[in-house]
Amino acid sequence: MADEVSRTIQNLLGNRGPLLLGAAVVALVLLFMINPFVIVGAGERGVVLTFGSVDETVLDEGLHVKIPFVQTVVLMDVKIQKAQTDAAASTRDLQDTTSTVVVNFRVVPDKANLIYQEVGLSYRDKIIDPGVQEIVKAVTASYNAGELITQRNKVRDEILAALKERMLPYNVVVTDFAIVNFSFSQQFTQAIEDKQTAEQKALKAEQDLKRIEIEAQQKIALARAEAESLRLQRAVISPQVIQLRAIEAKISAIEKWNGQLPRVTGGVIPFINVDEEK
């Protein structure tokens, strides 16, 4: 059965078989040369140009067919991208600042054709970087130097909100903003360090003064206590107490006497009077 089908095909083709095969090969080569297919990758959109004019159609991810020699497709990245920019500005109190900021943004996928038509592929150089620098200057100018340090999160949020509003008409969505580096001029930085040093010295001097005052108060309190003790002792001394102390001293001397009189060469013999008047 298979042999019969093969013979039938050969009879139909006859001598035209090689010609048809060659024509198929040529057609295949031409098909690849004119390349009527376009593949839009993940995180991309295809902007269709018909004779150079931007179409309203935006190609999603996947395989698409274009009209050869008539249409071209420009691929645009719609994933979140990062732009790092250096921005110089001045504060409200005229202090120079230098900032390195990072902006995360993405192109609105359905509006990729509009941003290509209005701005082109170099939208970062044309609208992202200049917009960031302008807004950083404007926001920084509304704060003094000290506020930029103490209210950094507030400054960041204000810049982010302004960037979102600024980029939306260009069909660019700003997703995040961060200040990765922030510095003042060398003179201002040195002035801050000198101020901190002076404050630390003043604090130490104040603490030393308090310590001296406390020690002086302690000495005064001790002196007062000693004076009060002496006053109380004087208050309780009476002639009877004095006589009692004298009798106690004599009794102590008698207890310590060994019964022998002191050896002397002349004079009277000392003796302790034990017949004190009671």
Read off the pLDDT of residues 216-242 as tens digits, 9 standing for 90 and up.
788 777 777 777 666 666 666 666 666
Q: Quick one: what percent of the chain has pLDDT higher than 70?
A: 66
In sign, the C-alpha dihedral spanning 145, 147, 150, 152 is negative
Give 111's pLDDT tier (boundaries 50, 70, 90).
Answer: very high
Domain extents in the chain:
35-77, 81-184
Give residue 212's pLDDT: 80
Give residue 200's pLDDT: 72
Each residue of 4-48: pLDDT tens digit? 545 555 555 555 555 555 556 555 555 555 668 899 999 999 999
- The architecture of the domain spanning 81-184 is 2-Layer Sandwich (3.30)
By mean pLDDT, which of 26-40, 96-110, 261-275 is the weakest?
261-275
